[in-house]
Structure 1
Amino acid sequence: MSIEHHSISVHFVQTLVRAMEQSDIDARQAMLDAGMNPELLQLPQLRVTPEQFSRLILLAWQRMDDEFLGLGSRPCRYGVFSLMARQAINCKSLKSALYHITRFYNLIADALTLSLEVHGEDAYFDMRLTSPEQDMDHALCELLMMLWHRFPSWLIGQKIQLKEIWFTYPEPEHSSEYRLIYPCPIRYNQPVNRLVLDRKYLQAPVVQTKQTLLAYLQSSPLNWFKRQAYYPVFTRKVVRCLEKDEGFVSLNMEQIAAELNVTSRTLRRKLTEEKTSFQQLKDGIRRDAAIHYLSQPGIPVAEISRRLGFSEPAAFTRAFKQWTGVPPAVYRQS
């Protein structure tokens, strides 16, 4: 399918709203401007599209004039990232780009300290927040650690395969969402926030240009939130098979197992080991597809139900309410 099978937990909206409220920004109006219904904010199962969330965070940056969302010891004026990126594009390799990022932010942002070190075959990109207690929900740390991975990956034109990522805080309740953000094993309660990568990446050349950077900045931060989910091996294979199934009905567990050259029993066991199941994956993909379709008012609910393989709209309504806490019509009104 051509749509983006990805949605974002309302948890991240809630943390962003709290950050805006702490800075005396009208978060309710910002949500409305971003195409969200503030009345649905308290539903823990609710999910939003990457487009909605990117609009909200962009409004927060602009209205707070702070790319650190009021969660750092000092503000970071809106436009600082763009300025850094316009200089980083002139670097010759990933190593020089990462050193540039560390020098740039260490010079102008008192709220954090960045460093790049090489130890044996590994390279460490570390971040320490000056006042981590101000980032109570870890929203700033989560956003920046994602950015330190995705922007350099874009610079060299390939996804940097991380070996590990470290966080200084305990595992949060929403850690299941991290598989949509971080492509590697995660360690918590560490002395520093760290990206661990193979040092070979440091020699990769910067392939982007000033022209491609302009398009990148114009689409940011949306391009940060639309990346493919980082799934384990068999989960990823099943997701790919399901995404090719236009009607969500023509493929079952046995057919996918045959396509992957394993027995259905083996596939079921592998998915269990990866802490998921065939039905969970199918429901997750249909849920995100439904959220995408419902954000387009020109597609009737009955048509969405048919596209997602439900026998009737009533069955789709029951499933969507179970997934998100609200019926499709209510979600669409938001």
Structure 2
Amino acid sequence: MSFENQTVSVHYARAVADAAISRGYSVETLMRSAAINENLLESDDIRITPEQLAYLMRAAWQLEDDEFLGMAGVTSRHGVFTLMAKQAVHCKNLRGVYRHLCRFYNLCTTAFELSFSFDERLARMSMKLSQPEYDKHHMLIDFLLLLWHRFPAWLVGNRIPLNGVYFDFPKPAHSAEYRLLFPCPAHYDRESSYFTFSSELLTLPVVQTPETLKTHLRRAPLDWFKRQNFYPTYTRKILDTLTSDDGFENWQFEEIAESMAMTTRTLRRKLTEERTSFQEIKNIARRDTAIHLLSQKNLPIASIAHQLGYSDAPSFSRAFKEWTGVTPKSYKR
């Protein structure tokens, strides 16, 4: 078992569906492509797998021939990002990648304006939508900022720790997702949307090749969604421990503290500082792993309950309904 199977809010699937409907496309076809039941879109508590969101976006790109998914007021034909990426892989370093990215999109679209700047301490990648009223769920801004962060990081083969991410809109209802999307504090009501990181990283060389890029693009956008495992230090360590094997019930808080060479009191204080608790972390791990396992066709619910450390299927069902608003049986159906 791996916590790589982090889940994402159904908010993003709903945003893709709403944009498709507003342009006259059938949402049924899109949902079928991603194995998402349309009824799930009605609940804010539902979460889906990264695979489902990736399949949904890929289907929308192909159906609508618009990489902006109808959320920008103007379209960008499917394949434009690939063209940019095939040029970016030949850049010398991270600074060159960001400069190329901005030049490319500022030349080929009026959907938004990109700008990149840096000083001795911080680098800043900014964007401003020309017609933000089309991005009513903030899906496009979220996705593009994610893309401007994750793809350059892949090109240089290094994580890019962010100092902060900033949005030009008020704090949205789905703001809890940002701790998964961006490994840094989030801020709102700014003049534009942007993120900052250390200028020291700008000299990192591009290590990918045209051949590795082909594989990366064939998987897109899945890899960008699956790398959502950005949690504070001790939360991350506990999640890794809980999901390192198939037995959630095998780990107790005392044992985890001992494995991290600290007392339970110290670890509990660290978690309080990170605004969480052991039970909350355990529930997150169980919930997201349950959603991943329920997407496997031939895995019985009773087996999933046992794998997650529940004594019986009804106990698991009650917990799952509390997390998502639906029963495991309904979700699997």
* TM range, smaller chain: over 0.9
In the alignment, the residues of structure 1 paired with residue 278 and residue 5 of structure 2 have an alpha-carbon distance, to the nearest angstrom, of 16
Q: Which amino acid aligns with 1:113?
A: E
In the alignment, the residues of structure 2 paired with residue 245 and residue 265 of structure 1 have an alpha-carbon distance, to the nearest angstrom, of 25
Structure 1 position 246 matched with structure 2 position 246: yes
Equivalence for 1:55: 55
In the alignment, the residues of structure 1 paired with residue 182 and residue 137 of structure 2 have an alpha-carbon distance, to the nearest angstrom, of 17
Structure 1 residue 331 displacement after superposition? 1.0
In the alignment, the residues of structure 1 paired with residue 323 and residue 139 of structure 2 have an alpha-carbon distance, to the nearest angstrom, of 24
| TM-score, scaled relative to structure 1 | 0.96
SS of the residue 1:268 aligns to: helix
Equivalence for 1:319: 319
Show CA shifts across 1:262-316 (max 9, x none): 2222222222222211111111111111111111111111111111111111111
Q: Comparing 60-69 with 100-109, which one deviates more in the overlay?
A: 60-69
Equivalence for 2:73: 73
Percent sequence identity over aligned pairs: 45
Structure 1 residue 118 displacement after superposition? 1.4
Structure 1 position 189 matched with structure 2 position 189: yes
Runs of 4+ aligned structure 1 residues displaced above 6 Å come to none
Equivalence for 2:170: 170
Q: Comparing 113-122 with 208-217, which one deviates more in the overlay?
A: 113-122
SS of the residue 2:171 aligns to: coil
Show CA shifts across 1:32-69 (max 9, x none): 22111112221221111111111111111111111111
Structure 1 residue 237 displacement after superposition? 1.7
Uncovered stretches (5+) of structure 2, i.e. residues with no partner: none
In the alignment, the residues of structure 2 paired with residue 7 and residue 47 of structure 1 have an alpha-carbon distance, to the nearest angstrom, of 6
CA RMSD of aligned residues (A): 1.3
Structure 1 position 106 matched with structure 2 position 109: no
Structure 1 residue 3 displacement after superposition? 5.8
Structure 1 position 237 matched with structure 2 position 237: yes
In the alignment, the residues of structure 1 paired with residue 118 and residue 141 of structure 2 have an alpha-carbon distance, to the nearest angstrom, of 22
In the alignment, the residues of structure 2 paired with residue 40 and residue 86 of structure 1 have an alpha-carbon distance, to the nearest angstrom, of 37
SS of the residue 1:123 aligns to: strand
SS of the residue 1:61 aligns to: helix
Q: Which amino acid aligns with 1:318?
A: R
SS of the residue 2:248 aligns to: coil
In the alignment, the residues of structure 1 paired with residue 91 and residue 49 of structure 2 have an alpha-carbon distance, to the nearest angstrom, of 34
In the alignment, the residues of structure 2 paired with residue 29 and residue 228 of structure 1 have an alpha-carbon distance, to the nearest angstrom, of 27
In the alignment, the residues of structure 2 paired with residue 198 and residue 282 of structure 1 have an alpha-carbon distance, to the nearest angstrom, of 33
Q: Which amino acid aligns with 1:81?
A: F
> Aligned pairs, how many?
333
Equivalence for 1:7: 7
Contact 1:97/1:152, CA 8 A, preserved across alignment: yes
SS of the residue 1:255 aligns to: helix
